[in-house]
Structure 1
Amino acid sequence: MSRAARGPRIVFWRHGQTSWNLENRFQGSTDIELTDQGVFQARRSAALLSGLHPDLLISSDLKRAARTAAELAKITGLDVQHHEGLRETYAGEWQGLTNSEIQERFPEQYQAWAKGEPVRRGGGELSTEVADRSVPVVLEAVDKLPEDGTVVVVSHGGTIRTMIGRLLDLEPAQWERFGGLSNCCWSVLGLGARGWRLLEHNAGTLPQPVIGDET
């Protein structure tokens, strides 16, 4: 992404690795720390993202996102603004379960979700409700940017997907078309004459399996 490009930019940055990511457990709003590898990922990615000279840094208040954001704050000197609205999807009874356990215990919910139907996974939030609480936080930050400024948003795979889908004005059933973000990788949106555009997706790594994306 060129810093010389005109207009505001949003960098959606997924947090680093956690032990539940490795176990493919649905974290949701459960507050899990980064692994040592996750901290390393955050430091490596922060060094790259600092080259964008971001103007604002906002983050989910969950530990895995806040710890990731702290690495960029160290390099840039920016204060991190923590927001509950940027948390991962609350998924009720699904949280803490592996993908196979979810399919076994909640087969109807899982199949409906896999088909793109609106589902309260585990009795939790709809994807549209996640977008309702997270997107306004981001747009408020964008309003505070200087001309052609950049905000880095540290959040979670599922929440980032919903924010991108909402900002691109796509129907909710289409949001799952975006591939997952690997740990500590990012996607970039830029504001043009026709609205927000996706400039980069899952940047920061060579293609690799995505572990625990929606966590």
Structure 2
Amino acid sequence: MTRRLVLLRHGRTAWNRSLRAQGHADVPLDDEGEAQAKAVAPALAAMRPVALWSSDLARAAGTARRVADEAGLDPVLDDRLREFAVGTHRTGLTLEEYADQHPVEHAALVAGDIAAIPGRESDADVLARFLPALTSYAEGLADGETGIVVSHGAAIRVAVPAFLGWPPGVDQTLGVLDNCGWVELEHAAGTWTPAEARWRLRAWNRVTS
């Protein structure tokens, strides 16, 4: 039988709307985000999940609570599922404001020199905490079971290819997840040729209509 992991991005926040970097800032859902979480909850509950894990940041935890209420589960908060830390000076600013107020750091960001930005996490930093969490969740699912992970767009986009064993850089070919868009991973045998079961990408950025 098939095991399934569903990774859900949180609903919208006021900072999403104004294009402000959030990182580890504890920004709650706005009214639209609450509506998105309420709308997606029945779709995920219909998958009959047996477990629900979430980032502890307010925007993810608030989304998870909506899913939990619909699915009859208690969400487990895990700080390993947090979004990238974007750096002390970047948090709360638009990209234009960041470039104006911290031009040296902005130039380093554009050049990909993440180490030069105080407090900013690299892909490797995020994967070092996110992948062990995702792997432990996957290993805890029995055949036929589904687990849901509520997290953040950028963290999910780097974690999924790494979890699947794809080459570095593939994450850049994946589209940005919508607020309350989700990813479906399944542990199943090959479709076209006989092969041992492994984790595969079933869907990227599914949304409710």
Greater mean alpha carbon deviation, residues 97-106 or residues 152-161: 97-106
TM-score between both structures, scaled by the size of structure 2: 0.88
5+ residue gaps, structure 2: 189-195
| Partner Cα separation in structure 1 for residue 64 and residue 163 of structure 2 | 22
> How is 1:117-136 mapped onto 2 (pairs within 5 angstroms)?
119-120=114-115, 122-123=117-118, 124-136=120-132
* Deviation at residue 205 of structure 1 after TM alignment: 4.8
Q: Runs of 4+ in structure 1 displaced over 6 angstroms?
A: none
| Partner Cα separation in structure 2 for residue 162 and residue 46 of structure 1 | 24
Could you tell me the percent identity over the aligned residues? 35
> Equivalent residue for 2:206?
203
Q: 1:60 aligns with which of 55, 65, 71?
A: 55
5+ residue gaps, structure 1: 1-5, 207-215
> Equivalent residue for 2:82?
87
Q: Is the 8 A contact 1:73 1:79 kept in 2?
A: yes
Q: Is the 8 A contact 1:7 1:147 kept in 2?
A: yes
2:10 is aligned with 1:19: no
Alignment: residue pair count = 197
SS of the residue aligned with 2:200? strand
* Deviation at residue 171 of structure 1 after TM alignment: 3.2
> Equivalent residue for 2:70?
75
Change (3 A) 1:77 1:119: same
1:165 alignment partner AA? P
* Deviation at residue 179 of structure 1 after TM alignment: 0.7
2:204 alignment partner AA? H
Q: Is the 8 A contact 1:157 1:181 kept in 2?
A: yes
2:138 is aligned with 1:147: no
Change (3 A) 1:112 1:62: same
> Equivalent residue for 1:209?
none
> Equivalent residue for 2:172?
176
* Deviation at residue 149 of structure 1 after TM alignment: 1.1
Q: Is the 8 A contact 1:127 1:172 kept in 2?
A: no
